[in-house]
């Protein structure tokens, strides 16, 4: 199991390094369902793993000059406060509820990834301070609550509201993820029992994968990778929900999700031209 977990951690690191997000979406299910880690410990471990992995990957993106530090600092400072608050709040939420929320988040995130825009808007507007602080706190609080690094929320926010190009958003999100993941970990660490050997081994493999992901990121089409990753997230999100929800409710959720994803382009999806 530990060997399998280490292998999967490598893959997770690659995904995080290339996309600037998705690390925690894959790390938490792996810890809970593959390595049989207790959910609260898995959430704390996931935050630590993603924080270290994002930091390693950030180094390579920073060397290319893609990191927007001012935007990242504003967003990240608020996200750290939100992540710590979310981590403390998680102590009062039942584990089953946390897993359901996480699984639902995976499905919704994948839908937006499959339907959303891949590039930044044409205008290069600056992200206003108050908006950056509000968005950062909201994303950080949610990420800290469910044990996610938040990249799947940070990247779209930086693209849509900050006017960043996709590569800049990916790089800057790694900066924010690093800050808020460690803050969220601090919020969880007080009430989670961690296995130091497991944390160290999974973190090391994920960090190694993130190096490969950062180097491969400029050679692989971000759009193709994003779509493949999104379908994987849908499958894993439904799997997590299937562990917690009764079968009829799961079938309803799956039908709704697939219906939204596969709805005709002519219906007018955000950021995509309707077919004639």
What one-character-per-residue DSSP string does 99-119 give? HHHHHHHHHHHHHHHHHS-SS
- Is 133 inside a domain boundary? yes
Q: Is residue 269 part of a domain?
A: no
Establish if 6 belongs to a structural domain: yes
Question: Shortest CA distance to 170 belongs to which of 243, 88, 64, 249?
Answer: 64
Flag whether 95 is in a domain. Answer: yes
Q: CA 163 → CA 98, 140, 264, distances in Å? A: 32, 20, 28
276 in a structural domain: no
Domain that holds residue 174: 2-264
CA distances from 273 to 90, 117, 120, 217, 268 (A): 41, 11, 16, 27, 7
Give per-residue pLDDT as tens, 115-156. 664 444 444 556 677 777 888 888 888 877 876 656 667 777
Neighbours of 214 (CB within 10 A): 26
CA distance 8 to 6: 5
pLDDT tens column, 221-263: 767 766 777 787 788 788 878 888 888 888 888 888 777 777 6
Asked if the structure places residue 272 within a domain, the reply is no
Of 273, 240, 272, give the one whose Cα is nearest residue 257.
Answer: 240
Domain assignment present for 31: yes
How many structural domains are present in the chain? 1
**270, part of any domain:** no
Q: Is the pTM of this model over 0.95?
A: no
């Amino acid at each position: 199991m530990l060997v399998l977990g280490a292998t999967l951690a490598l893959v997770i690191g690659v995904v995080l390094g290339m996309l600037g997000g998705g690390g925690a979406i894959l790390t938490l299910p792996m810890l809970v369902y593959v390595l049989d880690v207790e959910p609260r410990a898995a959430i704390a471990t996931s935050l630590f793993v993603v924080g270290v992995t994002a930091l390693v990957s950030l180094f390579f993106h920073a060397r290319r000059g893609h990191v927007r530090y001012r935007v990242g600092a504003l967003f990240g400072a608020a996200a750290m406060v939100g992540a710590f608050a979310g981590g403390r709040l998680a102590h009062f939420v039942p584990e089953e509820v946390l897993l359901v929320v996480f699984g639902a988040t995976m499905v919704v995130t994948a839908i937006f990834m499959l339907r959303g825009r891949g590039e930044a808007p044409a205008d290069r507007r600056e992200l206003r301070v108050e908006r950056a602080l509000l968005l950062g706190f909201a994303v950080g609080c949610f990420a800290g609550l469910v044990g996610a690094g938040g990249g799947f929320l940070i990247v779209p926010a930086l693209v849509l509201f900050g006017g960043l190009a996709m590569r800049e958003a990916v790089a800057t999100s790694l900066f924010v993820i690093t800050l808020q993941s460690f803050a969220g970990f601090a919020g969880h660490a007080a009430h989670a029992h961690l296995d130091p050997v497991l944390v160290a081994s999974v973190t090391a493999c994920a960090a190694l994968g993130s190096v490969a992901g950062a180097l491969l990121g400029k050679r692989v089409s971000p759009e193709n990778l994003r779509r493949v990753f999104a379908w994987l997230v849908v499958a894993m999100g439904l799997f997590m929900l299937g562990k917690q929800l009764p079968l009829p409710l799961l079938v309803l959720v799956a039908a709704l999700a697939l219906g939204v994803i596969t709805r005709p382009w002519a219906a007018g999806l955000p950021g995509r031209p309707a077919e004639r």
